[in-house]
Amino acid sequence: MPELQHFVNAFDTCIFNLVDMLKHPLLEALLPLADILGIQILDKHEISESDLHLIWEGEVVGGVRRHNLNGALTRLLSAVEIEMNLKVEDMDRIQKQQAVALLNEWGVFNLRKSVESVAEALEVSRFTVYNYLERSEND
């Protein structure tokens, strides 16, 4: 039965690591933000040098891994809908201006082809998005 004991020990270790990860207050606090921010919350045993290390009382307790930018604009447009409590298709002109200002504040327009994508999502022209951006920068 040594094989069974080895399996039980490995299983116990996995469960202990999972429970240990989920019970740390910092990691628990960050879990709801993961989807919204497009990040992955990692256990301290999963992090690499390129990840952001989360330190609690001088000890690394986990990490944050940034996702690639694929789908970032879609996630941010969804976040605008949540923030404004309104679907894009239900927005009037002023609300679309507010949405563009919010996206600009979040740095969306640093992404390549973002003006075109936002214009398409808001069902306006690129020229209109540029006008909204200019207006938001002047306010």
Tens of pLDDT along the chain (139 residues)?
Answer: 555 555 545 555 555 555 454 568 888 888 888 877 778 888 888 888 888 999 999 999 999 887 766 677 888 888 899 999 999 999 999 999 999 999 999 889 988 889 999 999 999 999 999 999 998 888 7
The domain ranges of the chain are: 2-66, 72-138
- Provide the pLDDT for residue 29: 85
How many CB atoms within 10 Å of residue 23? Answer: 9
- Provide the pLDDT for residue 115: 95
- Asked if residues 24 and 61 have their Cβ atoms less than 8 Å apart, the reply is yes
- Provide the pLDDT for residue 73: 83
Closest by CA position to 52, among listed 67, 63, 39: 63
The amino acid present at 107, given as its one-letter code, is G
End-to-end CA distance of the chain: 74
H-helix or E-strand spanning residue 16: helix 2-23
C-alpha 44/C-alpha 48 separation (Å) is 9
Q: Write the Ramachandran bin of 107: left for phi over 0, alpha for psi from -120 to 50, otherwise beta.
A: left
C-alpha 65/C-alpha 53 separation (Å) is 9
C-alpha 134/C-alpha 128 separation (Å) is 10
Phi, psi of 113 (to 5 degrees): 65, 15
pTM above threshold 0.95: no
